[in-house]
Chains A and B, each alone.
Chain A
Amino acid sequence: MPFVGGLTGVSLSDGFGEDIRTGFFSNQLIKPYKIWITAFTREFAYKLQYLLAVGPVYILAIIGIFSFYYSSTINPTSIFLALLFVIFGFLFHIIFDLAISWCAFWTTDVWCFKHIKKIFFSVCGGRRFPIDFFSGSLLLAMEIMPFKFIYFIPLSYFLGIRKTQMVLIDTISVVTWSAFFASVGIILWKKGIKKYEAYGN
């Protein structure tokens, strides 16, 4: 769980929110690059650093655990699907976090972004407990929402709990949600940047 969370986790909204609130964002606006590309490359670099520094420890721990507890459901296909959905989850999280970041154009309470994200990911993302603990309409709601792609889906594929027939549906779902939040992010950015003003930075 922490290994997957480390790979899919993104914390752009804390930094961007604070920059917009304090007016420090102006420094970035005048620079000759696109902010979303910078955000993406910075997060990508963090992930590489994480994989190199922390990854080996987690991988050794996972190998250690599975040498005692052999599970026939874990195979090269399940590992590949888990990695695929880790990448999807990471990309979705960046897009989602950018959309949240631009809300800072209208609010000064940027501290709440990380808490709101934490609440949604812990309950609806499967960090606190697997979402299939639920049943009926609650399970349906959790399945429809996109937060499961951060923790629950990659882990389910890794453990072989989720059927491979679901790959196509999950891919369509994560792409659709990413497109939706990208559109929301673009609208918020266009409206917010017109409203934004700062001085003395």
Chain B
Amino acid sequence: MVINKLLKYIKIYFKLFKFGFILATAYRASFLIEILVELGYQIGFILFFVGVLMNVKSIGGWTYHEVMFLAGLSIVVSEVTLGAIYVFNLSRLPEKIKNGEIDTILLKPINSLFYLSLGLPYFASFVSCLTGIYVMWISVVNGHLVISFANF
């Protein structure tokens, strides 16, 4: 019963994801600018650590590559969270409630909280989380970091 419900919501989420992607890419220039802005923020974030670690060899025992791996992981987690839940969903929720725009959502035969929290993903965040993955990968390769299932 619970699994069926879970599968149903995963299916709905994929549909919403697809719809969100079509909506985001309808205006190509706008979509590209969104990605560039997100990348800019991440470059700023990475440059901060590069700047600091140009002057010191380690921070509290954390080497350059370990810190960069952590920075990459932070980018991935924050971008996915922002993109899936925050930017177009939770951040706009108070405004929607104030303007009486959630009535139509409350009438739909799905969990309202699910739809309001995950209804419209912000795709630029998902695309730009690739930067974080790249930074993590570079750190693992160049820093010879050993990642195993036991670490997780």
Point out residues on A near B: beta carbons under 8 Å.
Answer: 107-109, 112, 115-116, 119, 122-123, 128-129, 133-135, 138
Contact = CB atoms under 8 A, between A and B. Distances in A.
B48 A115 contact: no
Contacts of B43: 119, 123
A134 B37 contact: no
Contacts of A134: 51, 54
B51 A115 contact: no
B37 A133 contact: no
Contact of A133 (B33, B34, B41, B51): B51
Interface string B10-47: 00000000000000000001100110110011011001
B99 interface: no
Contact of B37 (A108, A115, A128, A129): A115
Interface residues of B, number: 16
B84 to A, nearest CB: 20
B52 interface: yes
B52 A123 contact: no
B51 A119 contact: no
Contact of B55 (A107, A109, A133): A133
Given A123-B43, A133-B55, A116 B37 contact: yes
A109 B37 CA distance: 12
A127 B66 CA distance: 25
13 contacts: A112-B36, A112-B37, A116-B40, A119-B44, A123-B47, A123-B48, A128-B44, A129-B48, A129-B52, A133-B52, A133-B54, A134-B51, A134-B54
